[in-house]
Amino acid sequence: MQDQIKNINTLEELQALYTATFGKNGTMTARLKEMKNLDNDARAALNMENQNLRELFKTRQTEIENAVLMAGLQKQKLDVSLNAAPENRGTLHPMTQSLIEISEILESFGYTPYTGPEIEDDWHNFTALNTPDYHPARDMQDTFFLGNGNVMRTQTSAIQIRTMEKTGAPVKMFGIGTTYRKEMDATHAPMFGQIEGLYINKNITMSDLIGDIRAFLKRFFEMDDIQLRIRPSYFPFTDPSIEVDLKWKNGRWLEIMGAGMVHPNVLRNCGINPDEYQGFAFGFGWDRLAMLKYDLPDLRDFRGNDIRWLKSAGF
Ligand code: PHE
């Protein structure tokens, strides 16, 4: 009987043998009915045999069911070698990716983001920034004049003015925007991005400024240690003014940003008392920082919207 069970390969045959054994007219059923005529030892032996047989049936049933299942799965196996249609997934533009990273860092330092108009009036782009119309520093920026007194914004410093006019002091903000100048080569495009930080409060010093710049650059470029060179410079809206160079991986010094202590006239123009408050501002080219971070050779490509270039640059 035991060998018979083990040799069965279908559930139907197994069921048939089960019925023939344990069914109403089954062989085991008949023997169990006669059990009262047996002595104790024989009863115990029969009970044992009955139990073992039932277990054997159960085990064989499970084995056959598993075998049937496996055979079914084998038949259903997917052919994954077929080429699927290529999927085109978009990615974030490098300007967007860098903006997200820059914003995260500045916001973690307590700066709040602001924007402003790209067509700017003379007051916000120049005059309030301590650059009245006779000022020679207007020539520093190759401005696109719109003929109605407005200009294409040449610097995000205009956003500082708009923010200070609104919030007064203290204020800790950064402006994000597109800026325009008549210039064009591998590191200059007529349309480019600037990001600019401003912090006005009591007792703010140059070392607060340099500390924030250092911490920002370290995090943005993911460098363990950075070397900065602080050079005296000139901007009408800061005094003293500096330019910051960063020692790059190849050992060369790169000019990274302009900065300085906000000129008292600028604070006054925004209704802030310079005897009570002072602060700093720093501004940098957003495209240029992204270009360095992602190691891309030509800044003009950033605004070209050429998918092939973006793909080849790894975006
Ligand atoms: N606005 C300056 C420029 O465009 C950069 C700057 C910003 C300098 C803030 C000092 C402080 O060149």
Asked whether the beta carbons of 154 and 181 are under 8 A apart, the reply is yes
Can you tell me the distance from the alpha carbon of 293 to that of 94, in angstroms, rounded to the nearest whole number? 10
Q: What is the pLDDT of residue 232?
A: 98
Asked whether the beta carbons of 271 and 178 are under 8 A apart, the reply is no
Tokens of 309: 């270039």
Number of Cβ within 10 Å of residue 89's Cβ equals 4
Number of Cβ within 10 Å of residue 188's Cβ equals 16
CB 260 near ligand 1, within 6 Å: yes
Q: What is the pLDDT averaged over residues 193-212?
A: 97
Q: What is the pLDDT of residue 221?
A: 95
**pTM score above 0.85:** no
Determine the 3-state secondary structure of 91 from DSSP: coil
The number of the ligand 1 atom at minimal distance from the alpha carbon of 179 is: 4
Q: What is the pLDDT averaged over residues 92-115?
A: 96
Omega within 30 of 0 (cis) for the link into 170? yes
Can you tell me the distance from the alpha carbon of 153 to that of 151, in angstroms, rounded to the nearest whole number? 6
Integer-rounded Cα radius of gyration of the chain: 40
Ramachandran area for residue 172 (φ above 0: left; ψ -120 to 50: alpha; else beta): beta
CB 143 near ligand 1, within 6 Å: no
pLDDT tens per residue, range 100-110: 999 999 999 99
CB 196 near ligand 1, within 6 Å: yes
Can you tell me the distance from the alpha carbon of 192 to that of 91, in angstroms, rounded to the nearest whole number? 21
H or E element, residue 214? helix 206-220
Mutation to probe ligand 1, out of 135, 157, 160 (largest number of atoms < 8 A from CB): 157
Asked whether the beta carbons of 298 and 186 are under 8 A apart, the reply is yes
CB 177 near ligand 1, within 6 Å: no
Can you tell me the distance from the alpha carbon of 190 to that of 182, in angstroms, rounded to the nearest whole number? 5
CB 120 near ligand 1, within 6 Å: no
Asked whether the beta carbons of 174 and 196 are under 8 A apart, the reply is yes
pLDDT tens per residue, range 31-74: 999 988 999 999 999 999 999 999 999 999 999 999 999 998 88
Q: What is the pLDDT averaged over residues 25-31?
A: 94
CB 282 near ligand 1, within 6 Å: yes
CATH of 94-312, one of 1.20.120.1200, 3.40.50.2300, 3.30.930.10, 1.10.1740.10: 3.30.930.10
Q: What is the pLDDT of residue 5?
A: 92
CB 197 near ligand 1, within 6 Å: no
- Ranking 57-61, 193-197, 259-263, 305-309 by mean pLDDT, the lowest is 305-309
* Pick from 251, 272, 145: nearest CA to 200: 272
Q: What is the pLDDT averaged over residues 125-131?
A: 96
| Confidence grade of residue 217 (pLDDT, cut at 50, 70, 90) | very high
CA angle, corner 293, sides to 233 and 208, nearest 5? Answer: 45
Q: What is the pLDDT of residue 223?
A: 92
The number of the ligand 1 atom at minimal distance from the alpha carbon of 160 is: 9
CA angle, corner 57, sides to 52 and 59, nearest 5? Answer: 90
> How far is ligand 1, taken at its centre, from the CA of residue 227, in Å?
21
CB 155 near ligand 1, within 6 Å: yes
Domain ranges for the chain: 2-75, 94-312
- Ranking 38-52, 159-173, 232-246 by mean pLDDT, the lowest is 38-52
The number of the ligand 1 atom at minimal distance from the alpha carbon of 284 is: 5
> How far is ligand 1, taken at its centre, from the CA of residue 110, in Å?
20
Residue nearest to atom 12 of ligand 1 (CA): 258
